[in-house]
Amino acid sequence: MLDALFRPRSIAVVGASTDPTKLGSLPVKFMLGAGYDGELYPVNPRASTIQGLPVFSSVKAIGQKVDLAIIAVPKEFCAAALADCAEAGVAAAIMFTSGFAEVDTAGAMAQLEIAALARRTRMRVLGPNCLGVVNFAEGMVASFHPAFALTEKRAGRIGLASQSGAFGGLSYSLARERGLSFSYCVTTGNEADVDIAECVSFLADDASTDVILLYLEGCRNGPALVEALKTARRNGKRVVAIKVGRTASGAAAAASHTATLAGSDAVFDAVFRQYSVYRAQTIEEFLDVGVACALGKPPLNSSLGLVTVSGGVGVLMADAATDLGLEVTPLSEATQARVREILPYAGPRNPIDVTGQVVADPKLFERGLELALAEGGFGALVAFTGALPRNPEHAPMLTGVYASLRERHPQVCLISAGLSTPQFRDELGALGIPSFEDPTRAVRAAAALHFFARRVCEPAVGEKRSLPSLPGGPIGEAEALRALGAAGIPVVEAHLATDAKSAVEAARTIGFPVVLKIASPDILHKSDMGGVLLGLASEAEVESGFGELLARARRAHPEARIQGCLLAPRIESGMEVVLGTNFDPVFGPVVMVGLGGIFVEILHDIALRLAPVGIEEAHAMLRELQGFTLLEAARGRPAADIDAVARAIVDLSSFALAHAHEIVSCDINPFLVLSKGAVAVDAVIVRKSGKEQA
Amino acid sequence: MLDALFRPRSIAVVGASTDPTKLGSLPVKFMLGAGYDGELYPVNPRASTIQGLPVFSSVKAIGQKVDLAIIAVPKEFCAAALADCAEAGVAAAIMFTSGFAEVDTAGAMAQLEIAALARRTRMRVLGPNCLGVVNFAEGMVASFHPAFALTEKRAGRIGLASQSGAFGGLSYSLARERGLSFSYCVTTGNEADVDIAECVSFLADDASTDVILLYLEGCRNGPALVEALKTARRNGKRVVAIKVGRTASGAAAAASHTATLAGSDAVFDAVFRQYSVYRAQTIEEFLDVGVACALGKPPLNSSLGLVTVSGGVGVLMADAATDLGLEVTPLSEATQARVREILPYAGPRNPIDVTGQVVADPKLFERGLELALAEGGFGALVAFTGALPRNPEHAPMLTGVYASLRERHPQVCLISAGLSTPQFRDELGALGIPSFEDPTRAVRAAAALHFFARRVCEPAVGEKRSLPSLPGGPIGEAEALRALGAAGIPVVEAHLATDAKSAVEAARTIGFPVVLKIASPDILHKSDMGGVLLGLASEAEVESGFGELLARARRAHPEARIQGCLLAPRIESGMEVVLGTNFDPVFGPVVMVGLGGIFVEILHDIALRLAPVGIEEAHAMLRELQGFTLLEAARGRPAADIDAVARAIVDLSSFALAHAHEIVSCDINPFLVLSKGAVAVDAVIVRKSGKEQA
């Protein structure tokens, strides 16, 4: 679909100029330098040659098939230039020009016209306000960012997709400094037409890309992004994302930066967890994990071996590993004894502190590492060599040690930490050993590789089921519970009584004590008006309770439609859980779980996923909760039925999906979890208004 | 006290060798290179000159006053060498040699002898297993670490104290790469005599040191460390610490690395908070904050201005600032309008996105920054300039912009972020502007400077009061409550009844309902044996309850001394808080506060401080709690009396200090906090055994 954008064989540069420093001249200069061998057509009505190439007065005047047009003219000439391209049958255009939706309303209107033109003519448009595309294998530099000035035809296997141009350029520069090579870079800017999801989708299907680095501020088309991420995972590609606007200040800044719909950051975070995207918090982490993915091997398990020339750094790395969920498993006593034989002063446990002794004899370092690799059972190993790689005598010896280890252990996940040189780093990189100067960052890279190794295979997703339609009009509690019951969620046995007499009969059927609740589709917060009576123990209490609730409801909500009262058995025990669904404007139905009370209200301790959710993912949600241990058995308390909650999450997610067109939200609060089974005790479903359904 | 160690005027090097690569030869080489102008005496029985200096056969043979001896002989000769030094009247010795307590029991025994010699002769000993001391102003390099090979007489104002030698050398190397200069470096190794607290104390009192970088694995003398940290704060010095062994794996690794008593990491963390020590988690953060302290100005408030050439990086920085507790306050509408006048495409709010426009005209950048500084009211400002400083044309222009801003705003806290060069970094450093390549790290540096600015003045500490002695023998609940009441803590009115009749009388006095609890100094966990009856509403219930509790106690604890039952009024409301004290083996009495129930049990949400605690610090403890909002007013709930909790913390800390010699711990659980006032409902005090008191 986006081939014309990423792999054009002929490019018109509209706004190329005889001044080689101008925006429109730079791509021509960069591509000539990079050896792009497709056709290059500078377009300028007032010049005859530019950088040695013949110039055309318009795109139409070229008279040849043009795959891609670069538009680098002032804002006021953009519309005409685009129209010219479309008429000439150009397949795709890139608009560098800024001053559109990111600046003011007039700009936003002009951008809408660009979008309309793209839809009408089917010419794909990237930008405006973007820094374009680079295809490194072909030396195709459709960008003016100075970071691409010295591009050579040297392709790597990292694809970079960024909504921000400056961020893309910066990340590329930093990555190049660290010796990384790329397949493609693309920046999407204001996304009048082509959006970030399409670019991720392109990279996810591109055979020359293994790792996708993604910078996001928001997303216009959530489902498309999810599909692209699924494709990436299915194709074994690792996606590292940085998504800014996590905080209120950040979100406000993002809103004023691009005109993209930001969406809820918590939902983005859920999407990343769900589709195995590693979320980086800083540029440094973004690139570190990129380096690890590009060079490193997948760890076999979560145990981390640490070898160090400094005991102190060993402790530091052990702390970091534990923080990141890796296990610093000690070597067996027998192996420790063998380490001590080789290195008398060593700390042999794990971290394996080989001490400064190895400076005198790097063979000792190799034998220590070999022992750890052969007998430690580690999924990955980080070796800290201090300043040794900076020493011109020691560096080649160390490289030799790593090369011979790699020969004996071709698939092991090895990471180097310590002061380094570009040469040492690149030699290790060629051996599939990422290296980091900071030891904590090396450990974090191991944890990131473990993150990907753990989630390579797609977990089973929930099924999309067809469910009975919801009743018309606002939905009362009784209907809500019934609808959820029909979706497979265990619900309390609730009876709707329309008068006191039938209430007493229902109570007799249920058995005392009972709970009595006002039943009205117009009263969502029953407790606030005293609309719930707990533990009524006799027929007399039920009878008088019925009258009292009706009276209270009429006083508090004179206009509400009152259906009567709902009766349910009183459930004395169980752990309170809150389940819910919400319709996210970017991604659609989202399902939520949290523990009741302060966990949700004070600590905001909830887990989110997009619907549908599979059973494995539902369990992962529960394990994410800070309060998860409350569900497990503890002193004098049996374990809660965690499976029952997970199944309810799965069923609620199917329910949310089946009714996505008609409901805004559904809250089950509380969902009482017993030691065997669970039950929804109260439920509120909010229907979309007619406008929202449309 | 440690002058001979840090500022010796004459140094004997025992074990200097004619082979210039040997451990003992390196300090001689390094000092000759660095231009040390004190006396230098190589000691070696089998050589006549070493590196051009005359050699002595023993320290005694020198015949001159020797301030410091460096001991670099094999382990088996160390004792004799030290004795020789002591007899010759040497004031201090540094032992490089390893193989002592860090290796095995024999080594530990040998180290005890070194300690005994130091005590006996009053010669101070640094090490063994250490990398020594460097005094940069004097070119005094009493170390063999290669990082000090190229030391010049160039003193800066940072002092580095590290328990780990390799860590110290590494940190120094990394800091030098970043252009930092030091006053002293000292590594303490096994601490047979001189310990880390003494070294911090030296630096805290040293006029040439402004910033102290501290690496800790544990501490032998907590109170001395606290005193040193207090001195540092009083003298306006900023202390940045990295303390490893936070996690179980890390602590295990630390235990096998040095022989120092580790102590509880949570208590170290409390000490750092209490004495304004910035705790870094990684080497990178350690040095970043060191750079910020060495070069930066203190922020005036917690509002952070962000100026950026990339909108995306602006959002990223806004997120980071919010995470770190800084406020990204928007510019006023009027100022935003003025920013837009200067920079038409700018995002004018805050972050102030000056966009790529400034590449063409750096004056625009200066005017944008000037507006932000003059009108933003920011306590600090971080400016991200992307890759511009790497451009040989742009860098001098940017430096010029900063220089002229600095002239107009001499005291403002300015931090630069973005790709850089050593020259650009050093020129900005000379202007008092720290610079960081990574924008998130630049924001973190601003937050660290704010941490120090907020806590420069010492908060009032709690008073050390004299309190009545505790009764002899094990302490029952009644005595515990009485003792706490005497310390000023509000306690429930409790009556001890020895028989059912007096229990009924007491209940009548208190008023119904009452709580009845078994009273025995031998039963600490009353609830576990059903030893508490809540809400007894009548005389009959009290009478039968008394008999029932005694019967249960006799069944569950036949050997316990039963004093009778305790009666107290039933308090229906109040927020449950847990207060406690503990005797930490490193630091002494520690006071703890947490919210009751799951906050303490599941979330481990507690705050700690060393006793005594002042009222301001007590409030800081409460604000640290995750569940703090529960104490504040909320929908339908009045605020709890936070002052009453804070006062109780202060009084409990005085209590802990006054009884430090006799109690192990005291727990008040629950301490019920009402909307006005609070009351301790239950208390357990555990007395030290005779052995612990000694």
Chain A residues lying within 8 Å of B283, measured CB to CB: 313, 316, 438-440
> Where residue B267 falls among pLDDT bands split at 50, 70, 90?
very high
Q: What proportion of chain A, given as a percentage, has pLDDT over 70?
A: 97
A598 closest CB neighbour out of B283, B320, B627 = B627
Provide the CB-side half-sphere exposure for B630 (13 A, CA): 24
In a domain, B426, yes or no: yes
**A306 lies in the same domain as A412:** yes
The pair of structure tokens assigned to B427 is 């020129």
Chain B residues lying within 8 Å of A598, measured CB to CB: 598, 627, 630
With CB atoms and an 8 Å threshold, state whether A254 touches B315. yes
The pair of structure tokens assigned to A313 is 């750094």
CA-nearest residue of chain A to B418?
Answer: A170
**A368 lies in the same domain as A430:** yes
> pLDDT per residue over A176-217, tens digit each?
999 999 999 999 999 999 999 999 999 999 999 999 999 999
**Number of domain units in chain A:** 3
pLDDT value of position A463: 65
> pLDDT per residue over B305-347, tens digit each?
999 999 999 999 999 999 999 999 999 999 999 998 988 878 8
**A436 lies in the same domain as A315:** yes
**B616 lies in the same domain as B664:** yes
Instruction: Say how many Å lie between the first and final Cα of chain A, rounded.
Output: 29
A157 min Cα distance to partner chain B (Å): 24
A438 closest CB neighbour out of B283, B319, B330 = B283
With CB atoms and an 8 Å threshold, state whether A602 touches B627. yes
Identity of the highest mean pLDDT range in A224-233, A348-357, A517-526? A224-233
Ranges of H-type helices in B343-383: 357-360, 362-375
With CB atoms and an 8 Å threshold, state whether B319 touches A247. yes
pLDDT value of position B692: 60
B393 min Cα distance to partner chain A (Å): 14
> pLDDT per residue over A348-406, tens digit each?
999 999 887 777 787 888 998 999 999 999 999 999 999 999 999 899 999 999 999 99
pLDDT value of position A601: 81
Q: How far is CA A220 from the centre of its chain?
A: 15
A350 min Cα distance to partner chain B (Å): 7
With CB atoms and an 8 Å threshold, state whether A166 touches B281. no
Ranges of H-type helices in B219-344: 222-234, 248-257, 265-274, 283-295, 311-323, 333-342
With CB atoms and an 8 Å threshold, state whether A310 touches B283. no
With CB atoms and an 8 Å threshold, state whether B166 touches A310. yes
Chain A residues lying within 8 Å of B309, measured CB to CB: 166
**What is the distance between the alpha carbons of residues B547 and B559, in angstroms, rounded to a whole number?**
18
Side chain identity, residue A275: Y
Q: Which of A650, A655, A584 is CA-nearest to residue A613?
A: A650
**What is the distance between the alpha carbons of residues A279 and B316, in angstroms, rounded to a whole number?**
13
Provide the CB-side half-sphere exposure for A606 (13 A, CA): 24
**What is the distance between the alpha carbons of residues A309 and A417, in angstroms, rounded to a whole number?**
11
Chain B residues lying within 8 Å of A603, measured CB to CB: 603, 626-627
A45 min Cα distance to partner chain B (Å): 25
CA-nearest residue of chain B to A441?
Answer: B282
> Where residue B259 falls among pLDDT bands split at 50, 70, 90?
very low
Mean pLDDT of chain B: 92
With CB atoms and an 8 Å threshold, state whether A347 touches B250. no
Side chain identity, residue B508: R
Strand partners, A610: A590
CA-nearest residue of chain A to B131?
Answer: A356
- Residue A157: is it exposed, middle or buried by C-beta count within 10 angstroms (0-12/13-18/19+)? middle
| H or E element at residue B31 | helix B25-34
pLDDT value of position B57: 95
With CB atoms and an 8 Å threshold, state whether B440 touches A252. no
With CB atoms and an 8 Å threshold, state whether B315 touches A440. no
**A311 lies in the same domain as A415:** yes
**A337 lies in the same domain as A403:** yes
> pLDDT per residue over A614-664, tens digit each?
999 999 999 999 999 989 987 777 899 999 999 999 999 999 999 998 999
**ipTM rounded to 2 decimals:** 0.91
Chain A residues lying within 8 Å of B164, measured CB to CB: 310-313
Region B394-400: what's the mean pLDDT?
93
**What is the distance between the alpha carbons of residues B560 and B520, in angstroms, rounded to a whole number?**
7
**What is the distance between the alpha carbons of residues A297 and A289, in angstroms, rounded to a whole number?**
12
With CB atoms and an 8 Å threshold, state whether A314 touches B257. yes
In a mutagenesis test of the B interface, which of A249, A269, A331, A628 is the best target, namely the one with the most B β-carbons within 10 Å? A249
With CB atoms and an 8 Å threshold, state whether B247 touches A163. no
- Cβ neighbours for A457, distance < 8 A, ≥ 6 positions apart: none
Q: Which of B107, B119, B36 is CA-nearest to residue B70?
A: B36
| Residue B144 in this model has a pLDDT that exceeds 80 | yes
With CB atoms and an 8 Å threshold, state whether A167 touches B356. no
Q: Identify whether the C-beta of residue A133 lies closer than 8 Å to the C-beta of residue A140.
A: yes
In a domain, A176, yes or no: no
pLDDT value of position B363: 83
Peptide bond into B439 cis (omega under 30): no
B257 closest CB neighbour out of A163, A217, A315 = A315
| Residue B158 in this model has a pLDDT that exceeds 70 | yes
Cα angle B281, A281, B292; round to 5: 45
**What is the distance between the alpha carbons of residues A536 and B228, in angstroms, rounded to a whole number?**
66
> pLDDT per residue over B295-305, tens digit each?
999 999 999 99
pLDDT value of position B40: 97
- Give the lowest-confidence range in A690-694, B415-419, B666-670: A690-694
**A448 lies in the same domain as A332:** yes
Region B233-259: what's the mean pLDDT?
85
In a domain, A33, yes or no: no
> pLDDT per residue over A522-539, tens digit each?
887 888 889 999 889 999
Region A45-63: what's the mean pLDDT?
95
Domain carrying residue A653:
575-693
Three-class DSSP category at B306: strand
Domain with residue B515: its CATH number is 3.30.1490.20
With CB atoms and an 8 Å threshold, state whether A283 touches B440. yes
Neighbours of B474 (CB within 10 A): 14
Size of interface A-B (CB pairs under 8 A): 224
Q: Identify whether the C-beta of residue A578 lies closer than 8 Å to the C-beta of residue A600.
A: yes
**What is the distance between the alpha carbons of residues B612 and B590, in angstroms, rounded to a whole number?**
8
A498 min Cα distance to partner chain B (Å): 32
A315 closest CB neighbour out of B98, B147, B253 = B253
pLDDT value of position A693: 57
CA-nearest residue of chain A to B528?
Answer: A636
Region A79-93: what's the mean pLDDT?
97
In a domain, A461, yes or no: no
pLDDT value of position A259: 47
Chain A residues lying within 8 Å of B254, measured CB to CB: 315
Domain's final residue, options B569, B593, B617:
B569
CA-nearest residue of chain B to A131?
Answer: B356
Domain with residue B309: its CATH number is 3.40.50.261
- Residue A261: is it exposed, middle or buried by C-beta count within 10 angstroms (0-12/13-18/19+)? middle
> pLDDT per residue over B161-202, tens digit each?
999 999 999 999 999 999 999 999 999 999 999 999 999 999
**B368 lies in the same domain as B316:** yes
| Residue B651 in this model has a pLDDT that exceeds 80 | yes
| H or E element at residue B240 | strand B238-243
pLDDT value of position A526: 87
**A406 lies in the same domain as A533:** no
Side chain identity, residue A551: A
In a domain, A284, yes or no: no
> pLDDT per residue over A274-317, tens digit each?
999 999 999 999 999 999 999 999 999 999 999 999 999 999 99
Chain B residues lying within 8 Å of A314, measured CB to CB: 253, 257
**A446 lies in the same domain as A323:** yes
- Give the lowest-confidence range in A454-458, A541-545, B318-322, B514-518: A454-458
In a mutagenesis test of the A interface, which of B144, B283, B316, B326 is the best target, namely the one with the most A β-carbons within 10 Å? B316
Q: Identify whether the C-beta of residue B94 lies closer than 8 Å to the C-beta of residue B5.
A: yes
In a mutagenesis test of the B interface, which of A104, A316, A441 is the best target, namely the one with the most B β-carbons within 10 Å? A316
With CB atoms and an 8 Å threshold, state whether A630 touches B169. no
Q: Which of A365, A395, A397 is CA-nearest to residue A383?
A: A365
Neighbours of B142 (CB within 10 A): 27
Domain's final residue, options A538, A569, A600:
A569
**What is the distance between the alpha carbons of residues A405 and A409, in angstroms, rounded to a whole number?**
6
In a domain, A468, yes or no: no
With CB atoms and an 8 Å threshold, state whether A356 touches B147. no
A305 min Cα distance to partner chain B (Å): 12
**A595 lies in the same domain as A580:** yes
Neighbours of A60 (CB within 10 A): 15
Neighbours of B481 (CB within 10 A): 24
A463 min Cα distance to partner chain B (Å): 35
B318 closest CB neighbour out of A103, A249, A310 = A249
Region B371-378: what's the mean pLDDT?
94
B185 min Cα distance to partner chain A (Å): 16
CA-nearest residue of chain A to B628?
Answer: A602
Domain's final residue, options A511, A542, A569:
A569
> pLDDT per residue over B439-463, tens digit each?
999 999 999 999 999 865 555 666 6
With CB atoms and an 8 Å threshold, state whether A347 touches B257. yes
- B244-271 burial: b if 16+ Cβ within 10 Å, else e: bbbbebbbbbbbbbbbbebbbbbbbbbb
CA-nearest residue of chain A to B632?
Answer: A602
**B314 lies in the same domain as B427:** yes
Region B684-691: what's the mean pLDDT?
82
**What is the distance between the alpha carbons of residues B201 and B184, in angstroms, rounded to a whole number?**
13
A216 min Cα distance to partner chain B (Å): 9
**What is the distance between the alpha carbons of residues B120 and A666, in angstroms, rounded to a whole number?**
78
**What is the distance between the alpha carbons of residues B599 and B594, in angstroms, rounded to a whole number?**
7
Chain A residues lying within 8 Å of B21, measured CB to CB: none
pLDDT value of position B247: 87
**What is the distance between the alpha carbons of residues B115 and B79, in angstroms, rounded to a whole number?**
11
Cα angle A238, A244, A246; round to 5: 110
In a domain, A673, yes or no: yes
CA-nearest residue of chain B to A628?
Answer: B602
In a domain, B187, yes or no: no
A167 closest CB neighbour out of B256, B313, B328 = B313
